[in-house]
Structure 1
Amino acid sequence: MPYLQMKVSLKPALLLLSMAGISNSVSAMTEQGAYRNLMFFQTAKSEGEYCENKLHIQAIPQQTKWRNQHATVLSRSINTLEQHFVNDKGASKQEVPAAMVAVWKKLEDIDKRELAGRRNFNTCIKFPESLKFYASQLVQ
């Protein structure tokens, strides 16, 4: 049941990503898979911060450990997007850092708009389960 609850709570964000041309059925690391991965990293970060800052439930160490466990996927996702900006969008190497900042900002905005309002005490209690779900959804 927690898997279903987490799946339902992420549907709006995944729907937005798919409407933006980002498929949720990507098997190889493409820019779509990279965007999808970064959305899960952003959501995990935002949930951890919510639990700690709003409800004073320790979650940031769990989120940090999870992020470190999946650092290779995070790095590949970032590298994939950086290459996409240079190769497909014509960005110069000097413009890539600003483009990545914009990507993270957009993902944070999606999280705030679509997911933040659903966070509550139960979200924080089930945070380890959420992290497992997010890990299962990462495109390798």
Structure 2
Amino acid sequence: HCAATACLHIDPEKTVVLKHYLGTKSGRYFESTYRPFEREACILHILQRFDWAPRLLCVEDNYLLMTFQGSPRCTQELPADYSQQVRSIVTDMQSMGVRQNDMLKSNDNDFLVDDGGRVSLVDFTWGSVNGS
């Protein structure tokens, strides 16, 4: 699965995800000013204390290797406590000064649900820490 800034590769056993960052059409200015790769790696490091955040396994030049957290919420039945889990995730992020900055009701791909009903939030490419 590829988007504007990255491609995701999921292993067949669904245990890890490789996120490979691509160059963007907006070019070097966007990459050097916003630095989405470094931004996401930094935010994921901050969020490692929370079980809903992907475990960051490896950070290299233009990719992140992290744990598989589940499937998009639109592909399965939501757990009964879905809203409570989302509120808890937002509270956890606020406690660390982190904002995901891409939580839209129309975007079902950032909240994932695993087979046990645990909700996770992924994709911090547009995220910020304490407004930065």
| Normalised TM-score (structure 2) | 0.30
The answer to which structure, 1 or 2, has the higher relative contact order (CA under 8 A, 6+ apart) is 1
